[in-house]
Each structure stands twice: as structure tokens, then as C-alpha cells.
Amino acid sequence: MATFSKQPLSGDSTGLGVLVAATASTGTTIHASSAGTTFDEVWLYATNNDTASVNLTIEYGTTTSTNVIKQAIPATSGLTIIVPGLILGPSKTITAFAGSASKIVIFGYVNRIS
């Protein structure tokens, strides 16, 4: 039987948000999954502390265009869900970049499945 354990994002292992400083690929590291046979169920939320909407790009496990999630994050609107519990396989990395540097903060966690 599988076991689940809630873990912070590896981009900030204290549970605080990860500031998206990158404005192009390969973006700021948000989370890197473990090697081996574990999978991570990923939950990501973004907030935009700027006065204008900012486009956010999530590179989900790879930088190829088929694995990119794009979403406009409205200004000062609280948390916007970006990744709603998608599965990430072993040894994969999630990165992010935005239309403006250091305006988007990503919060979240993973449920590690082993």
C-alpha cells in the first residue's frame, strides 16, 4: 500500500514562498522531486504583489513546450491555484519564470507518494 507524506517545496524547504526572479527559461527552481521510485502530488499557488497583472510560466518537469503551464496572475488578488495536485515523477524539476522579475511568489507543497 502506498504511503503519503506532506512535504514543503524544495525551492524553499522552510515552507515559505519562492520568489520567481527569472524572466526566461530555464526559470527559478520551485521544486525538484526525489530520485528513485517516489512520485510527488504537486499543489502550487501564486500571488502577485505588483499593481499590474503578470504572466507566469511553469515548466513542469521539463522545458519543452508540451509541458508548460501559462497563466496570467492578477495584481493583488491573493492566491491563485496554478497546479492542482498533478503528479510529478522521480528526478523531475519544476521551474517558473514571469513577465516581470520578482513580482510573483509561489507557495505550495507536495504529497510524497512512496
Share of the chain above pLDDT 90, in %: 84
Closest CA to 12 of 29, 34, 24: 29
pTM: 0.94
Q: What is the pLDDT at residue 88?
A: 96
pLDDT digits (tens, 9 = 90+) for 2-47: 898 999 999 998 889 999 999 999 999 999 999 988 999 999 999 9
Residues 61, 40: Cα–Cα separation, whole Å: 11
Domains and CATH numbers, the chain: 13-113 (2.60.120)
Residues 110, 80: Cα–Cα separation, whole Å: 17
| Average predicted confidence (pLDDT) for the chain | 95
Q: What is the pLDDT at residue 72?
A: 98
Q: What is the pLDDT at residue 65?
A: 84
Is the pLDDT score of 1 beyond 90? no
